Amino acid sequence: MLRPTIRKRILGIAIGLIFLMAITSALSTVMTRKIAHQLDEFSGKYVEAYGHLARMNIRSLEQALALRRIVIGRMQSPPDMAFSADQRKVYEAKGQEIEQEAQAARALINAIMDDVSTESDNARLGRIDDRIERVTIDLRRYLGEEYKRLLSLLDAGNFVEARASLTDTLRDELNQRIEDIRTDMLAQVRSDAVMTMRDQKTAIVISVVLTLLAGILGLMFSLFISTGITGPVRRLLEGTRAVEAGRLDGSIDVTTRDEIGQLTTAFNNMVEQLRHKERLRETFGRYVDPRVVEGLIDPQSLAASSGERRVMTVLFCDMKGFTSLSEGMTPQGLVKVMNHYLSTMSGPIRSHRGIIDKYIGDAIMAYWGPPFTEHSEQARLACLAAVEMADRGKALRTELPELLGVRTVPSDCEVRIGIATGEVLVGSIGSEFMMSYTVMGDAVNLASRLENANKIYGSHSLASEPAIIAAGDAVEAREIDRLVVAGQTRPEAVFEIIGRAGELTEKQLELLARYAEGLAAYRARRWDDARRAFQAALEAVPGDEPSNAMAQRVENFQANPPAADWDGAWRLDQK
C-alpha cells in the first residue's frame, strides 16, 4: 500500500487550492462575459436603436422643413424654381433617410429579441417594432400624398391653401407617434441598463462570495492537512524535550504513515535504545563508578583512558577480624553482612566524591584526583571520608549483632584505613579480554601498606605525610612514626587522622602534645623521657593504642638498644 507522504500532502493542498481558484476564475469569467455581452447589447443595440429612432424623428422634422422651403421658394415673386428644386431633393433624401433609420432600428430590435443569451422584454420590443413599421408606412403614404397635393396646389397658384397645408395635423400626429416610440424605447434602454447594473452587482457579489468560499475552503483544507503534519511534529518536539530532560519512560503514538510517522517510529526506537542503554548504565554503574562509566562511554572526558601519570590520593579500607567473624556463616548471611558493611563504608567515599576502584573481599580500594576531583581537593576529601568511615565503623559494631543474630561480636572488629598521595599510573589497564580503569604505582602500594600498618599501632586511619600536608587544616592528625614499608628503602613519616579540625577535646589535644614529646625523645634515644611522655599520653587518653605500642617499643629498646646507625625509622617487612 502506498503511504501518504508529506510531499503528496503539500501537493494535494496546492492542487486543491489551484482547483478552487480555477473554479472561482471560471465562474468569474462566465459572469464577466455575460455582463460584457449585456453591456455590448446595451451600447451596441439598445442605445443604437434609440439613436436611429431619434434620428428618424429628426429626419422627419427636417423633411417637413424642406417642404416648407419648397413652398416658400414657389411663393416668391418671381418663383425661385432652382431653390425649390434643391429643397425637393432634400425632401426626397430625408424621406429615404427616414426609411433607413426605421429599418436600422427595427433590425437592432429584432436582433435583441433573437438573442436568447440575454434577458429582454421581447413582448414590449415586438410592440415597438410593430409601431415603427406602422408609423413608417403611414409616414410614407402621408408624405407621398401630401407632396402630390402640395405640388398641385402650387402649380395651380393656390398659395393660400398650400400655406395652410403646411400646418397639417396629420404630420404632427405622425411625429408625435415617432416621439412616443422613442419614449418607449428610452424606457426600454433604461430598463436594460438597470438590469445590466443589477447583473453586474450580482456578478460582483457572487465573485466575492466565491472568492471567500474558496479562501475558507482552502484555509480549512490547509489547516486539516497541516494539522496532520504539525500535530505529530509538536509531539515529537515534546518527546525530544522530555528525552533532553532525561525522561525516557514515555513514547509517542504513531498517528500517521508518512515520513513523520516513520520518524516517530524511529524516535520511539531510539528512546527504547536509550532506555536499554540507561539500564545498562545503571547496572554497569553498580559495578563500576558511574563517572568512570560516563568517561568510558565518552572517551574525551577521560583523557587518561590510554594511560597517564598523575598525582592522586589512594585509600584502602579493611575490617580487622572480619575473616574470623565470617567463619561459620551461611552464604546468604555472609552476603548480607558483606553488602551492609561495604555499603556503610562506601557511603562516605561516594559522598566525598571518591571513586571506588574495587572491592577485594572485605577490603575497599578508592581514589581521588583529576578528572573526577580537583587536584587541590583530593587529599582533603579523602581524609574527611576516612574520618566519617571510622565513625561509621564504630556504629557498624553495634549493628552487626542484629545482622548476625548474636548478642555480641569480637572486640577486634574495627575499621582500618590507609591513605597515600603521590604519583600513579592511571588509565584503562588489562588484557584484550577484560579492561579496568584503575590506578597503579607506589602511592597505591603505600596506601595498602599503611592500612595494614594499623595492626602495629592499634590505630584506625594512617596517612602519608604528602596526604596530610595536602589536606591542610581540614583534619587533626598526629605523626605516629617514620616507616619503611615493604618494597621501599626511604622512611616515610606516617600520621594518624584523629578527627575533623576543631572537634578535638582537651584530653585529645593533651594526648597529641605528650605523644609528640615522646616521639621526639624516642628518636633522640632518650628512652626514659620517651617512656614518661607516652605514659603521660596514656593518662590523658587511657587505652590509646599508638601510645601503648610506642611505650612497649621503648621498653624493648631500653633492654636491647638499636644499632649505632639507627635513623629512628621502623621497618615493615610484611605487606
pLDDT, tens only, 435-475: 778 899 999 999 999 999 999 999 999 999 999 999 999 99
554 or 17, higher pLDDT: 554
Cβ–Cβ < 8 Å for 252, 267: yes
CB 487 within 8 A of CB 495: no
The angle subtended at Cα 176 by Cα 173 and Cα 181, nearest 5°, is 130
pLDDT at 419: 96
Nearest residue to 355 (alpha-carbon basis) of 289, 305, 309: 289
CA atoms within 13 A on the CB side of 109: 31
User: pLDDT averaged over the chain?
Assistant: 80
Q: Confidence band (pLDDT; 50, 70, 90) for 1? A: very low
* Distance, CA of 40 to CA of 43 (rounded, Å): 5
pLDDT at 66 over 70: yes
- For 141-164, give one letter per residue: b (16+ CB within 10 A) or e: ebbeebbeebbebbeeeeeeebee
SS3 per residue for 516-567: HHHHHHHHCCCHHHHHHHHHHHHHHCCCCHHHHHHHHHHHHHHHCCCCCCCC
How many whole angstroms separate alpha carbon 452 and alpha carbon 316? 9
Confidence band for 141, pLDDT divided at 50, 70 and 90: confident
As a whole number of angstroms, the distance between CA 143 and CA 96 comes to: 11
Residues in CB range of 449: below 8 A, 6 or more apart? 418, 483, 485, 486, 487, 572, 575
Residue 502 Rama label (left phi>0; alpha psi -120 to 50; beta): left
- pLDDT attached to residue 2: 43
What is the bridge-based pairing of β-strands 363-368 and 308-319? antiparallel
- pLDDT score for 575: 58
Q: Are the C-beta atoms of 443 and 467 separated by less than 8 Å?
A: no
Band of residue 351 on the pLDDT scale cut at 50, 70, 90? very high
Q: Which of 320, 343, 322, 344 is nearest to 334 (CA)?
A: 322
Asked if 386 and 419 count as a contact pair (C-beta separation under 8 A), the reply is yes
